């Protein structure tokens, strides 16, 4: 899950000249060739979680059998805001809140890892004791109820700031 060949010191990070990484799970900043920050690691993890919770699919997967990595890269750059909103609709509320929180972090501000941990822990506790099938049913029901919500509306911040 960790590719240390791509690791960099955040203090030395700069705008990218070209894309490196995995177009499926990369953060939005990575796809935009922007400076990668600590929040991007968490966003990539959320992309992976969303992929697993949504029957191994992400909003930018149109035809995964024929799409190349370059197709996904171009599609994600072109439809970034739309895909971000769809991602938030597909995630359970607590995980979507993490996504919104990360999106609202500006510059080199370090994420509040305790807030993120606590928010993710809430989601885990809601799922504790459930079978994988029950969890999938719960996620489908909870995302159906919030299908008109979007990451683009409102902002979320941690209560510890």
Q: What is the pLDDT of residues 134-145, one digit of tens each?
A: 766 666 665 555
- DSSP for the chain, please give it: ---GGG---GGG----SS--S-TTT--HHHHTTPPP-HHHHHHHHHHHHHHHHTTS--TT-S-TTT--HHHHHHHHHHTHHHHHHHHHHHS-HHHHHHHHHHHH--TTPPP-HHHHHHHHHHHHHHHTT--HHHHHHHHHHHHHHTTT--TTSS----TT-
Tell me the pLDDT tens digit for each residue of 37-58: 889 989 998 888 888 877 788 8
User: Average pLDDT for residues 26-34, to the nearest whole number?
Assistant: 92
User: What is the average pLDDT across 90-108?
Assistant: 89
Contact by Cβ (8 Å): 135, 125 = no
Does this model's pTM top 0.95? no
CATH of 15-145, one of 1.10.630.10, 3.40.50.920, 1.10.510.10, 1.10.3720.10: 1.10.510.10
- 17 pLDDT more than 50: yes
- The pLDDT assigned to 127 comes to 73
For residue 113, the tally of other CB atoms under 10 A from its CB is 10
Q: What size, in residues, is the chain?
A: 161
Comparing CA positions, the residue from 34, 30, 13, 12 lying closest to residue 21 is: 30
pLDDT score for 21: 81
């Amino acid at each position: 899950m960790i590719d240390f060949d791509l690791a960099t010191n955040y203090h030395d990070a700069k705008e990218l000249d070209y894309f490196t990484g995995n177009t499926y799970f990369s953060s939005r900043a990575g796809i935009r060739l922007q400076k990668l920050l600590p929040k991007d690691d968490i966003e990539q993890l959320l992309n992976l979680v969303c992929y697993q919770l949504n029957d191994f699919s992400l909003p930018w997967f149109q035809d995964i059998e024929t799409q190349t990595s370059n197709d996904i890269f171009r599609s994600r750059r072109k439809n970034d805001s739309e895909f971000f909103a769809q991602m938030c609709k597909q995630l359970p509320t607590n995980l979507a809140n993490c996504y919104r929180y990360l999106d609202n972090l500006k510059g080199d501000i370090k994420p509040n890892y305790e807030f993120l941990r606590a928010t993710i822990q809430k989601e885990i506790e809601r799922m504790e004791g459930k079978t994988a099938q029950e969890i999938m049913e719960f996620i489908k029901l909870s995302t159906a109820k919030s299908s008109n919500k979007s990451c683009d509306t409102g902002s979320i911040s941690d209560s510890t700031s």
